[in-house]
Copies of this chain bind each other. A is one copy, B any other.
Amino acid sequence: MSYYGSIEAGGTKFVCAVADEELSIIERISIPTTLPEETLAQVFEFFDRYELKGLGVGSFGPIDVNEQSETYGYITSTPKNGWRNTDLLGLLKERYALPIAWTTDVNAAAYGEMHLGAGRNTQNCLYLTVGTGVGGGAVVQGSILHGFSHPEMGHISVTRHPEDSFESTCPYHDHCLEGLAAGPALEKRTGVKGQLLEADHIVWDVEAFYLAQALMNYTLILSPEKIILGGGVMKQTHLLEKIRQSLEEQLGGYVTLPDDYIVGCGLGDNSGTIGCLLLAKEGA
């Protein structure tokens, strides 16, 4: 039997999984992200028990995805204590003489959703997670979108909602999407954690306005066949319809969108893991 491994390397936890040839998950473990040596010791312990044919890694970023670069495979300028300039891919390769696929967590999720989730039957789709931060990944003509680096879609600038003067939570930008619409911004605005806010709270209109504006710009630049929304904030399912309405308003009829354009995840919380497993299998 052939096995494939997946690592969703997040800033809070590493979710590791092993699956069989059909990508059915056999075992899964969640390991706290502490320091690289400590976390990786547990990762190794988990995978050492399997004979893997390939491994796929979707990592928190920023990371270096440029294969020509000297720091390819590194987590680069993260503020996460101990992880800055960590050669994560190198450390994994040292341990396992395997083909290891390497991309961002959100790219892996986009890839998983395109193949086996809400983006089935498309070749171009975009995945956006709205949670502690906002991050996006895209698949273009069937391949993960990388350029000189990976996208950083959460930091695009957005125009202010006319009634919003909230101070951005982003240390880099006064009016980027993440700074105005990620979970911490919701909480700071209202004094209440997003998951505890009533569905009819006015803040959801502001939230939908910013997310829709970003989706409008993604649409006008990338023209994906489908946009898939995940992450903690999107557990507020009433938000989807608000975003769809605001998007139509902001587009002003300029573009006709495909049916069922803005949707939730088809793979629940497994988008990233499935994406990593697919990449692992393809690379093996």
Instruction: Show the binding face of A for B, using Cβ within 8 Å.
Output: 124, 136, 138, 140-141, 143, 145-153, 155-160, 172-173, 175, 213, 216-218, 220-225, 250-255, 257-258
Contacts and interface: CB of A to CB of B under 8 A. Distances in A.
A155 B159 CA distance: 14
Question: Quick one: copies of this chain in the complex?
Answer: 2
A156 B156 CA distance: 11
A136 B242 CA distance: 29
B140 A220 contact: no
Contact of A158 (B159, B218, B223, B258): B159
A93 to B, nearest CB: 24
A215 to B, nearest CB: 11
B157 A225 contact: no
A250 B160 CA distance: 16
Contact of A221 (B124, B218, B252): B218
A130 to B, nearest CB: 16
Nearest to A261: B148
